[in-house]
């Protein structure tokens, strides 16, 4: 009787653990509190797919500095999962000024190093705070 109960408990435990999604979460270092306050995770890996939040940087006002800081954050994020731009398959760029963004294509190419994802670039009204000019969202996949 006892044996059956223990077996059932073990079975229940296996079923329960199987039902819980395994997520590998990444926060931008030093941003843990901001992410908790707003309510999001900078990146989440499930299975072989890494979803990366729309990444911004509001330390400066100009697009070039914002972009450089964004690419640094994206590199840290990819490195955390042991991957590179070779693994990035999808990019959405939201900017408040597409013509200006296009002048930074060389900067973007330095980030990708010849490994290009699919891309969607749109000009929107506004991002999270008024001074933000560009936001980059990625999906990456592990081998």
Residues lying near a copy of itself in the complex (CB under 8 A) are found at 18-23, 35, 38-44, 46-48, 51-54, 86-87, 89-92, 94, 98, 105, 108-109, 112, 116-128, 135, 137, 139, 141-143
Determine the Cα–Cα distance for residues 55 and 71; give it in Å rounded to an integer.
9
Q: Of 121, 75, 119, 130, which Cα lies nearest the Cα of 95?
A: 121
Residues in the chain: 143
Our CB check for a copy of itself shows the closer of 8 and 23 to be 23
Our CB check for a copy of itself shows the closer of 64 and 86 to be 86
Our CB check for a copy of itself shows the closer of 44 and 69 to be 44
- What is the nearest approach in angstroms of a copy of itself to the Cβ of residue 1? 32
Determine the Cα–Cα distance for residues 96 and 123; give it in Å rounded to an integer.
5
Tokens of 82: 């042991």
Determine the Cα–Cα distance for residues 100 and 64; give it in Å rounded to an integer.
9
- What is the nearest approach in angstroms of a copy of itself to the Cβ of residue 62? 20
- What is the nearest approach in angstroms of a copy of itself to the Cβ of residue 116? 5
């Amino acid at each position: 009787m006892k044996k059956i109960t223990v077996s059932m408990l073990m079975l229940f435990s296996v079923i329960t653990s199987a039902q819980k999604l395994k997520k590998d979460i990444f926060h931008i270092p030093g941003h843990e509190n901001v992410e908790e306050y707003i309510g999001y995770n900078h990146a989440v890996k499930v299975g072989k797919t890494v979803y990366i939040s729309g990444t911004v940087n509001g330390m400066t006002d100009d697009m070039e500095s914002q972009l450089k800081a964004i690419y640094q954050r994206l590199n840290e994020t990819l490195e955390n999962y042991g991957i590179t731009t070779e693994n990035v398959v999808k990019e959405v760029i939201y900017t408040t000024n597409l013509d200006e963004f296009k002048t930074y294509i060389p900067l973007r190419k330095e980030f990708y190093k010849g490994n290009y994802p699919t891309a969607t670039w749109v000009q929107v009204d506004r991002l999270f705070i008024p001074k933000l000019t560009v936001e980059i969202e990625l999906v990456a996949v592990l081998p």
